[in-house]
Structure 1
Amino acid sequence: MSTPENNLLGLKRVREMTSLGKSTIYRMIAGKQFPRPLRLSERRVAWRQSDINDWLDTRAKS
């Protein structure tokens, strides 16, 4: 059974949740300031919802 913490999110949903653009997300990943996505295939990545939620919580506390 899938729980929200185990859901995988595509770039579109991550952008909606964070209000960040694609370039900003990838720049932050390169700077180790944003969770790395999982590679699902050669051209497809996704993020764990729990990783994004944790990142958002950390940003809210700072």
Structure 2
Amino acid sequence: MNGDQIFKWDKFSSHVSSLSGCFVLDTGCVTGYYIWRMLGCDTYLVVRMDLMPIFCIHLKQYKNY
């Protein structure tokens, strides 16, 4: 997590009233930072999609910690 990600999340979340109960598709999820933030907003389901296999592997390994 870095300051740029926090800034972008704050900017995005200020334009969304609530993600509670929503289905979310995160395309180009890279490190998965926003996935975890969206899950913390009581979303129903967050689906990640990225064309780079290395990022999908990274998220699977991170989930184990």
Same fold (TM over 0.5): no
Work out which of the two has the higher radius of gyration on C-alpha atoms and give 1 or 2: 2
Q: Which has the higher helix share?
A: 1
TM-score calculated relative to the size of structure 1: 0.30
TM-score calculated relative to the size of structure 2: 0.29
* Higher-RCO chain (CA-CA 8 Å, sequence separation at least 6): 1
